[in-house]
A and B are shown apart, each in its own frame.
Chain A
Amino acid sequence: MEKGKGLARRWAVELHDASSSSSSFPDPPGFTRSAPEADDAATARQRKDSEVAWKGQKAWEVAQAPFKNLMMMGFMMWMAGSTVHLFSIGIVFSALFQPFNALRSVGKVFEPFKDPRVDTLAPKLLFIALNLAAMGLGVWKLNTLGLLPTNASDWVSSLSPAREVEYSGGGIPLI
């Protein structure tokens, strides 16, 4: 029936059904047509998984980045010495402000790794901890420079003398 119909037309171009025409060719050996199609979802999942892994890895890397910074700061501080001058003050302030800024932008830093399946909490915590450590180093340095009011002397140095209740004037009488 179909043939008869076909005979009736001189020619026909079937543009759309490539598969039907290609399916006329035998599949190469070892090729199962159904396999990739069945695997498609799996590949996507796999790709996603690797991205998640990558994101997780990256997040950890980002989280660990301050550690390097920490080491460098430590070295710089050691170089700066324990006397108050422009260089040491600069270093201490950068050591304090860098972690502070990092902590302020902690959300932004981990923005690219935001994923419901990626657990950024742990890297975030590490990041925060390391930055806090860097800040602590800065504070410690500030203290070694003697710029922290930790001594009693820092609190009494501007204390004016106490009022006296009694007053006694006099001296040698005028001759």
Chain B
Amino acid sequence: MSQHEVTQTLDVKGLSCPMPVVKTRGAVDDLSAGEVLKVVSTDSGSMSDLKGWADSTDGVSMLDQEETEESGDTLFVHYIQKE
């Protein structure tokens, strides 16, 4: 499990490209500097897409990404900090 202190969690399970990135953008806009957003997705493409988005977008950084299992489904979990 991640050690990050999560401010808000965004559930984008069941949604596919481009919605995980688009909804993450909206959720990050509502955060204050230093706060951490946890994004939970079932889209395996979100591992590359959210990392790429965070790397090329000013004001956010990807702290951590992990894969977990929940009742047979693989979840892709991302921790994004607003700078």
Q: Do A and B assemble together? A: no
Chain A residues engaging chain B, CB cutoff 8 angstroms? none
